[in-house]
Chains A and B, each alone.
Chain A
Amino acid sequence: AQKITQTQPGMFVQEKEAVTLDCTYDTSDQSYGLFWYKQPSSGEMIFLIYQGSYDEQNATEGRYSLNFQKARKSANLVISASQLGDSAMYFCAMREGRGSTLGRLYFGRGTQLTVWP
């Protein structure tokens, strides 16, 4: 079974509008972490935001926020006031708390976001 599911292969948003990228996860651990990475066309992986399973508040980093709904096992990324430079592939990832996994990340298949003027 997929640990991370991103159901939107592609999303389109107009500049200055907000957009939500969906992510659901599957784990039986109580302790885990959720990450979002951005991959522009140049190929590098850029860390955006982190949410811990015990964090009571949703994480925010500038224009990025994470809508964390633990009971639904969802960790959606919200980008406010989209910019043309936000056009990229976005990956949701999870790290489980069990020591035997040595901190590896499980990635979803990604969502390609296109921002149009």
Chain B
Amino acid sequence: DAGITQSPRYKITETGRQVTLMCHQTWSHSYMFWYRQDLGHGLRLIYYSAAADITDKGEVPDGYVVSRSKTENFPLTLESATRSQTSVYFCASSERAANHYEQYFGPGTRLTVT
């Protein structure tokens, strides 16, 4: 399907386990982003990427790792999950970084760390 997809949509994992959240977009957008949404905080940027093999940290990168070997994929890995990483994770993409280019969001992944 065209657009931006995330998998899994729901995930329950245990503290200390490694978890990878997948993000795939079909538009060949250069820019991709990972946000987390927590009550009272809105959305906060974890990592972003301007192109394949170019990534950089956002506001809350600790405990997360990203990679971008292909333009269309931007996986987010929690190397050793903690309860504080229980959140809803959104992937987004944008054709350009210029102001008026909209960011398109995936449906989100609800992650619970027990």
Indicate which residue in A44, A105, A109, A110 contacts B103 across the interface (CB closer than 8 Å). Answer: A105
Asked whether A102 and B42 contact (CB < 8 A) given A43-B88, A47-B102, A95-B99, the answer is no
Q: B8: CB under 8 A from chain A?
A: no
Give the CA-CA distance A32 to B101 in the complex, in Å.
Answer: 11
Q: B33: CB under 8 A from chain A?
A: yes
Q: Which chain B residue shows the least CB distance to A98?
A: B97
User: How many residues of chain A get a CB closer than 8 Å to chain B's CBs?
Assistant: 27
Indicate which residue in A35, A43, A104 contacts B45 across the interface (CB closer than 8 Å). Answer: A104
Q: Which chain B residue shows the least CB distance to A94?
A: B99
Q: Which residues of B contact A (CB under 8 A)?
A: 31, 33, 35, 40-45, 48, 50, 56, 58, 88, 90, 92, 94, 96-105, 107-108, 110
Q: Which chain B residue shows the least CB distance to A2?
A: B42
* Closest CB in chain B relative to A1 CB, distance in Å: 13
Asked whether A109 and B40 contact (CB < 8 A) given A50-B100, A53-B99, A104-B58, the answer is yes
CB <8 Å contact, B105 and A44? yes
